[in-house]
């Protein structure tokens, strides 16, 4: 994302477009345009999907012929709708580990994990963590901790540093912004969903639904469920996770032919969802038992905001309008794609060089909201998509 050129649709309430044109002139690395007026603002849940154009440079170890079956397979069949690795954080202590402590109301463990030293930190953050680890001096650690780079850590240390609050872990965790606090528990739900999905596929395959599966008819892009785009469930999970208010259908021998693999859903654990009526139900129970939790106890948390209702998520996603193109090129510094901004400026679509030194693969496709393009890429590349691994690759290529 850091390297991407993105286009966002935004709404501004009662703002004349001329003011936005003026503001755009002072923006660095961004521009505003394509203005129009409408009767309503954009709201959470309005997004039906995202359009991606991704360029894979320095393609090695494969060619057009060997990758054609994989590319066509993605076009025809799609890919497993796993949550991407960015959902769990990019460091050695994952977000879902903190989520376990939160769901157990173990505030001391939660704050300890947030502040614990870890490899890969920038210099200032590493020093602040070290001070806290060795001296438990919140004020000294706070002076070293950069707020913008480590907001959760900064918030916890700031709360600890207040007079008389050094040992109040519950109060310190509560000082973390709400969206970050919920991110931890949602990461745990996503972790369990990914693991349960892997087990569902290992045991029953991907050919179609099996008796005992749960299904909700795949709505497609922009379709509305119960009168609204894929609803946001209690607790604010992603909009493409179908709301717990929508009851799934249990697949039986009588109705199995009415559904496809694209209708199969698995629950994100919570008090308001049901579970498959086959052995995958025990996968949820066993996985969460290892963490000291139960899928049937998530409505018993002492704090309301952590009483997770759960939701349903489709197991397999098929991208829409999937296209690909091979290109040869010489210069890594030159663009191989044309952004919307380039189109406005009248720039031509870059063309490949017939006998170029390097090979690139250009992909274009649409995904519904909450589906991860990194998971499509993993299906194609059979390679790790976590941020740390991608950073190493970038260093190797000089990008």
DSSP 31: -
* CA distances from residue 356 to 6, 67, 329 in whole angstroms, order as listed: 28, 19, 4
The three-state secondary structure class of 162 is coil
Q: Could you give phi then psi for residue 117, rounded to 5 degrees? A: -60, 150
Q: Give every strand in the sheet of 311-314, ordered side by side.
A: 242-243, 311-314, 264-268, 214-215, 249-250
In the numeric block, which tokens belong to residue 372?
A: 């991860």
Angle between helices 107-115 and 123-135 in degrees, nearest 10: 130
The three-state secondary structure class of 22 is helix
Instruction: Answer for the pair 346, 214: CB distance below 8 angstroms, yes or no.
Output: no
The rounded distance, in Å, linking the Cα atoms of 391 and 399 is 10
The rounded distance, in Å, linking the Cα atoms of 161 and 173 is 13
Residue-wise over 167-184: b if at least 16 C-beta within 10 A, else e? Answer: ebbeebbbbbeeeebbbb
- Give yes or no: 16 in active site: no
Residue 191: closest CA among 306, 281, 284, 294? 284
Q: Of the listed 1, 112, 291, 321, which one is catalytic?
A: 1
Angle between helices 107-115 and 95-103 in degrees, nearest 10: 160
Count how many residues are written for the chain.
Answer: 399
Q: Which residues are known to be catalytic?
A: 1
């Amino acid at each position: 994302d850091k390297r991407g050129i993105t286009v966002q649709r935004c709404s501004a309430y009662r703002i004349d477009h001329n003011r936005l044109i003026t503001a755009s002139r002072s923006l660095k690395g961004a521009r505003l345009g394509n203005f129009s007026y409408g009767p309503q603002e954009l709201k959470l849940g309005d997004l039906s999907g995202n359009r991606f154009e991704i360029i894979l440079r320095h393609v090695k170890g494969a060619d057009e012929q060997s990758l054609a079956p994989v590319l066509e397979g993605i076009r025809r069949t799609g890919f497993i709708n796993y949550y991407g690795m960015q959902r769990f954080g990019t460091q050695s202590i994952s977000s879902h580990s903190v989520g376990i402590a939160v769901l157990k109301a173990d505030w001391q463990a939660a704050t300890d994990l947030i502040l614990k030293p870890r490899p890969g930190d920038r210099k200032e953050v590493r020093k602040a963590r070290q001070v806290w680890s060795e001296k438990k001096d919140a004020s000294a650690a706070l002076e070293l901790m950069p707020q913008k780079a480590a907001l959760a850590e900064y918030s916890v240390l700031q709360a600890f540093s207040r007079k008389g609050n050094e040992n109040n872990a519950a109060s310190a965790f509560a000082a973390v912004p709400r969206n970050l606090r919920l991110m931890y528990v949602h990461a745990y739900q996503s972790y369990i969903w990914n693991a349960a999905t892997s087990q569902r596929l290992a045991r029953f395959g991907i050919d179609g639904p099996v008796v005992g599966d749960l299904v909700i008819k795949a709505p497609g892009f922009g379709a509305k469920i119960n009168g609204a785009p894929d609803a946001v469930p209690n607790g604010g999970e992603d909009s493409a996770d179908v709301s717990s208010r929508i009851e799934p259908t249990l697949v039986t021998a009588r109705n199995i032919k009415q559904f496809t693999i694209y209708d199969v859903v698995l629950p994100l654990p919570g008090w308001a969802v049901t579970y498959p009526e086959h052995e995958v139900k025990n996968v949820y129970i066993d996985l969460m038992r290892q963490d000291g939790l139960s899928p049937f106890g998530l409505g018993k948390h002492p704090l309301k905001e952590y009483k997770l209702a759960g939701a349903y998520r489709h197991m397999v996603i098929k991208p829409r309008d999937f296209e690909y193109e091979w290109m040869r090129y010489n210069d890594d510094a030159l663009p191989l794609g044309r952004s919307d901004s380039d189109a406005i400026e009248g720039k031509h679509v870059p063309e490949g060089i017939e006998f170029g030194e390097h090979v690139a693969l250009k992909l274009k496709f649409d995904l519904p909201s909450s589906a991860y393009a990194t998971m499509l890429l993993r299906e194609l590349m059979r390679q790790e998509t976590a941020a740390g691994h991608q950073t190493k690759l970038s260093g190797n290529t000089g990008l």
